Amino acid sequence: MTKSYLSLELIDKSFERGGVRTEVLKQVSLSVDKGEFISIIGHSGCGKSTLLNIVAGLTQATTGVVLLDGRVADEPGPDRAVVFQNHSLLPWLTVYENVRLGVDKVFGSTKSKAERHEWTMRNLELVQMAHAADKRPSEVSGGMKQRVGIARALAMEPKVLLLDEPFGALDALTRAHLQDQVMQIHAELGNTVLMITHDVDEAVLLSDRIVMMTNGPSARIGEVLAVPLARPRRRIELAADRTYLKCREAVLKFLYERHRFVEAAE
Amino acid sequence: MSVTNLKLKDQSALRPAAPVIAFTRSVKRASGRPLLARLSAGAANVAPLIVTLSLILIAWQIVCSAPDSSLPSPTRVLEESWELIAHPFYVGQGVDQGLFWHIAASLQRVAIGYALAAVVGIALGALVGQSQLAMRGLDPIFQVLRTVPPLAWLPLSLAAFQDGTPSAIFVIFITAIWPIIINTAVGIRNIPQDYQNVAKVLRLNAFEYFGKIMLPAAAPYIFTGLRIGIGLSWLAIVAAEMLIGGVGIGFFIWDAWNSSLISDIIVALIYVGIVGFFLDRLIALVGRVVTRGTATA
């Protein structure tokens, strides 16, 4: 057994539909240290979301195992909080209640009511959404919804934060703003983060390491790129930074030269 | 019924996201405008209705004004049934009661039968929506039973209960329950995978899932079922009461027919229509308040 905080050991995943077996992931192994920020990048359909769902426990691996902090993680749980691509806030609850639901569930027995309230508000403040605590999700913008989704996940004090293309549906400016906020939170709290993305700049800017997936079916980890950039990182300074550009080039080359996206034959 | 169903669904989709807020907003807007403007806006809304009503009444008056007309004209209805219209709270002997009391008796039966149907219907709908096995076992039975006309249940329930009132309540129950079951089941089957994933990550137990995810997520569908159900209940109670007798608007109409009081029947029909309208609006209102932001994800 490896000593890393989160480890994916020889994950295989295949779906069977109508007697036809499709292999999605093949022999995916990855070790993540505590506090590390990992991005998983690949063309659409390469199974990166499936991989995240397996770590989250929402999908079962066909073979292989996910170990978190020395224990097998095969069921969903708040120790692997997910920020979903489309925010997935419950529309009938207010912003506050959406976060509070998770807080009550995780800290119901260890924190008093007042402490849980305070903790909910602290996490909303962390993503600068405390001012909209009593609004419903339909009354705030897409970027705000995603921030609440992040607050909900953070408030569960997860061992690993799983981000499933969290900024994919946002406009470029909002996305940049949220990326900065995620970097800040990561610097402050030192979370272990696993993020799915298809945005090269986002991956290089945020990650300690970038995991590049080959095209499916039978996708595997093609290459892992370490990003040796000091933190805190500032996007404007990095725009001309040689290391940044090199990393960016390496990811682009992997995605567009060696593993060009080909329309999978149906 | 399927047409009504579709229509209601459309309306629920167009419902404002948070009626509480919409409500305060509209109050603000109303109070901010001068009285005259509000009155004229109100008149613009009501005027077409008044015009159509007047046209109908005039046409009716003309058609039925012949001395040998089989149906009374509006003026004759007013003349002959003035006692009935003027004294809705009249209390007499046996079934000789004011219209208010007849309506109240019918509403009471509907309330009991409908409340039972709502509770049992939502529970069965949740079961069928949640479990594939339950759906395979129960859905075909529901689909067959729901086509049985309400009144066809009456003789059977009379045989079972040996009494009029519980039989009428049972007829209401069995009439209202099918749309509630079916809509609840559809609503629960349509809960987005996202919400189920949230529930899984939070490790909600079965009770928490039911109360915090399932009911609110399916609420717009459930209220569609409840709204169809109340309409059918009100349809069925009039027919059932015609047969069981006693105080109640259905028997009142039948009694009036037997006494050749056609004007009384017309007054009673207007009452039935207006009460049915308000029942429908009541359930729609409760639905709007309860579902709040649910309709728009």
Q: Say if the Cβ atoms of A91 and B219 lie within 8 Å.
A: no
- B216 vs A contacts (CB less than 8 Å): 90, 92
Beta carbons of A35 and A227 less than 8 angstroms apart: no
ω into A232 cis (within 30 of 0): yes
Looking at the complex, does the CB of residue A166 fall below 8 Å from at least one CB of chain B? no
Among partner residues B17, B200, B294, which is closest to A58 by beta-carbon distance? B200
Question: How far is B181 from B199, CA to CA, in rounded Å?
Answer: 24
Angle between helix A113-126 and A142-155 (nearest 10): 140
What's the pLDDT score for residue B276? 95
A98 contacts in B (CB within 8 Å)?
none
Query: Which tokens belong to A238?
Result: 């990095």
The string of DSSP letters for B10-46 reads HHHHHS-S-HHHHHHHHHHHHHHS-HHHHHHHHHHHH
Q: How far apart are CA A143 and CA A149, in angstroms?
A: 10
CA B230 – CA B176 distance, rounded (Å): 7
pLDDT recorded at residue A259: 76
pLDDT for A260 equals: 73
Pick from B65-74, B171-180, B221-230: least confident: B65-74
Burial class, B151, CB count within 10 angstroms (exposed 0-12 / middle 13-18 / buried 19+) = middle
Residue with tokens 């990561």: A186
Of B17, B198, B203, the CB nearest to A90: B198
Within 8 A by CB and 6+ apart from B15, the residues are: B220, B288, B291, B295, B296
| Residues of chain B contacting A82 with CB distance shorter than 8 Å | 197, 201
pLDDT at site A85: 85
Smallest Cα distance from B292 to chain A, Å: 6
Query: Which residues 141-160 in chain A show a CB within 8 A of chain B?
Result: 156
Contacts of A164 (CB under 8 A, 6+ apart): A49, A52, A82, A83, A84, A85, A196
Tens-binned pLDDT, residue by residue, of chain A (266 aa) = 446 899 999 999 988 888 888 888 988 999 999 999 999 998 887 888 899 999 999 999 999 999 999 889 889 989 999 998 888 899 889 999 999 999 999 998 899 999 999 999 999 998 889 999 999 998 999 899 999 999 999 999 999 999 999 888 888 888 898 999 999 999 988 899 999 998 999 999 999 999 999 887 888 898 999 999 988 899 888 988 999 999 999 999 998 887 776 654 44
Q: Do A136 and B18 touch (CB under 8 A)?
A: yes
**Residues 79-118, chain A, touching B (beta carbon < 8 A):** 80-82, 84, 86, 88, 90-92, 101-102, 105-106
- Position B108 pLDDT exceeds 90: yes
Question: Are residues B194 and A84, on separate chains, in Cβ contact within 8 Å?
Answer: yes
Q: Does B145 score more than 60 pLDDT?
A: yes
The answer, for A162 touching chain B at a CB cutoff of 8 Å, is no
Q: Give residue A54's Cα distance to chain centre.
A: 12
- Give the pLDDT confidence score for residue B178 in this predicted structure: 96
Question: Residue B279: pLDDT above 70?
Answer: yes
Q: Which residue of A has its CA nearest to B217?
A: A92
Closest CB to B195 among A58, A80, A90 = A90
ipTM field: 0.85
Residues 6+ away with beta carbon under 8 Å from A48: A40, A41, A42, A196, A213, A219
pLDDT attached to residue A261: 67
CA atoms of A53 and A48, how far apart (whole Å): 9
**Residue B97, pLDDT score:** 84
Among A40-44, A67-71, B88-92, B197-201, which stretch is predicted with the lowest mean pLDDT?
A: B88-92
Neighbours of A235 (CB within 10 A): 13
Res B23 pLDDT > 80 = no
Closest residue in chain A to residue B292, using alpha carbons only: A92
Q: CA A99, CA A96: separation in Å to the nearest integer?
A: 5
Tell me what the pLDDT averaged over chain B comes to.
Answer: 85
Backbone φ and ψ of B50, nearest 5°: -65, -40
Gap from A235 CA to chain B (nearest CA, Å): 32
DSSP code at position B150: G
Chain A contact set for B212 (CB, 8 A): 90, 101
Give the residue on A whose Cα is nearest the Cα of B204. Answer: A105
Instruction: Indicate the Cα dihedral angle B183, B188, B189, B192, nearest 10°.
Output: 130
